[in-house]
Amino acid sequence: MEQYILSLFYIAILLVMGVIVTAITNKLRLSNVLFLVLAGFGLTVFGLEVFSHEFTLAIGALALILIVLETAMEVDLTHILKNFLQVLKFNLIFFVITTYLLTLFVYMTFDIPGNPFQTLILCVLLSIIIYGSDSSISMEFFKGKKNKINEMLKIEGVISGPIVVVFAFFLIGYLESATALDAQMITNSAFVASAEILFAVLFGIFMAYFFFQLMKHFNITKELSALLILSVAIFIFVITEYLGANGSLAVAVYGIFLRGLTRKAAHKKYFALLGHILFFIIFIIFGMQIEIPGILMWIKGLGLFALFILIRYGCTVLFLKKLNFKEKWYFTLNVAQGIEVIMVMLLMQFYFSELAGISLILSLAFMFFVYSYVSSTFAVHFSHKMLRKSKSTKTIKK
């Protein structure tokens, strides 16, 4: 049998398995992501691992573009302008505190092999992975309903995704270095990173405005409009990444401003089919790459997750003061991780598998991935008791 026919057959297996898993989880009112990963792990028993690293990363990048675009276009620009600074302040401070404390905890608690520099980089990288969250799981069971906490979680997802990608890729660039970073290198890198972020933001705004003005002269169907919006997002991602900036941030800004200009939410029903195909493939393939840790590691990982939850709750109490007690816990527990984190872990697995300590870091990251989805699922299922009922989204002021 020709190799391309065999690969097509394997893709069909992944899609069928994805549909079956999703049908079961929908019946149980659970997110399908974790179960797709576990299904992928189950396939390794049969030795099914035929996809190249390049194919996996390309599919992952396309899935990343789609979910960032869809999430950004679901967020009301008016709501962002009213609450963005508050959520941004929360996220930046939460990111700094989380990275510092969890890096220290992992470095002191776990015996990570390798030279001190690489060990430190790996600990910081794990802390960044832990910080990343995706609000899509909390949105899954709120179709057609708006809630101020869920809107804040959407904004957090738009902010945290690019932060994870920017800083994680920055550190991955130093993983194979044997010498520590000096002050001059850190300063130069920070300046370059700031310039890249500024470029991504400006490019995203420019492309949204250009696309909006261009489409005023054409009359096309909604299906073609959705396809064109996605195609432009892919173009933005590729150009931005090629120039060394952050593609996911540029796509997020493009989606947010395009939503503000057109006053239309994402073309969700047109994105849905492609989204399902990509998500099924990438999360199942991710499951095929993991190794299930032992029981002792799960216990240690639970301690790491508990520390993270305490840090997040503390930041929520300090910076989101207008939320009541139950709402603060709902916001705290919604920490499910998404495609950005998966992309970082796959890159680490594919290109640094021989690096000392990488196996332990990836095991901890996977355990946190599991715990985060359990936590978010708990919050979602008890949301009717944790969230105040409201007919419309209200602005939260400090």
Q: How far is CA 43 from CA 240, 290, 363, in A?
A: 35, 11, 19
Write out pLDDT tens, residues 14-56.
899 999 998 998 888 888 888 999 898 888 877 666 677 888 8
Contact between 146 and 392 under an 8 Å Cβ cutoff? The reply is: yes
**What's the residue count for the chain?**
398
The pLDDT value recorded for residue 77 is 62
pLDDT at 394 over 60: no
The pLDDT value recorded for residue 256 is 83
Residue 12 burial (C-beta neighbours within 10 Å; 0-12, 13-18, 19+)? exposed
Contact between 149 and 387 under an 8 Å Cβ cutoff? The reply is: yes
**What is the average per-residue pLDDT within 206-211?**
91
**121 located within any domain:** yes
pLDDT at 235 over 90: yes
The pLDDT value recorded for residue 396 is 42
Lowest mean pLDDT among 81-85, 201-205, 272-276: 81-85
Q: What is the mean pLDDT of the chain?
A: 81
Q: Name the more confident of 165 and 296.
A: 296
DSSP secondary structure, 129-187, as one string: HHH---THHHHTT-TT---HHHHHHHHHHHHHHHHHHHHHHHHHTTTT--SPPPHHHHH
| HEC profile of 15-28 | HHHHHHHHHHHHHC
**396 located within any domain:** no
Dihedral (Cα; 266, 92, 97, 335), 10-degree rounding: -10
pLDDT at 11 over 70: yes
pLDDT at 389 over 60: yes
pLDDT at 184 over 60: no
Dihedral (Cα; 117, 245, 37, 269), 10-degree rounding: 170
pLDDT at 75 over 90: no
The pLDDT value recorded for residue 307 is 93
Write out pLDDT tens, residues 236-260.
999 998 888 888 889 888 988 888 7
**What is the average per-residue pLDDT within 369-395?**
77
Write out pLDDT tens, residues 320-375.
888 889 999 999 999 988 788 888 888 888 878 778 788 888 999 999 999 999 99
69: helix, strand or coil: helix
Nearest to 253 by CA among 128, 150, 161: 161
Write out pLDDT tens, residues 76-119.
666 666 667 788 888 889 999 999 999 999 988 888 877 777 88
H or E, element range at 359: helix 358-381
Task: Determine the Cα angle at 81 with ends 254 and 388, to 5°.
Answer: 115
Contact between 281 and 59 under an 8 Å Cβ cutoff? The reply is: yes
pLDDT at 311 over 90: yes
Can you read off the two tokens belonging to residue 190? 């920070």
**395 located within any domain:** no
**277 located within any domain:** yes
**394 located within any domain:** no
The pLDDT value recorded for residue 328 is 92
Domain that residue 38 falls in: 3-386
Q: What's the CA gap between 342 and 79, in Å, rounded? A: 29
Q: How far is CA 92 from CA 42, 97, 127, 390, 392, in A?
A: 38, 9, 14, 28, 27
Q: Name the more confident of 8 and 329.
A: 329
Q: What's the CA gap between 24 and 378, in Å, rounded? A: 18
Nearest to 32 by CA among 253, 242, 389, 275: 275
Q: Which CATH number belongs to the domain containing residue 42 in this structure? A: 1.20.1530.20
Q: How confident is the model at residue 280 (pLDDT cuts 50, 70, 90)?
A: confident
Write out pLDDT tens, residues 117-168.
788 888 999 999 999 887 665 555 555 456 778 778 878 887 887 788 778 8
pLDDT at 2 over 60: yes
**120 located within any domain:** yes
Q: How far is CA 371 from CA 46, 148, 357, 377, in A?
A: 27, 25, 22, 10
Domain count of the chain? 1
**318 located within any domain:** yes
φ and ψ at residue 51, rounded to 5 degrees? -90, 135
Task: Give the E-state strand segments of the chain in sequence order.
Answer: none
Lowest mean pLDDT among 95-99, 116-120, 261-265, 379-383: 261-265
**398 located within any domain:** no
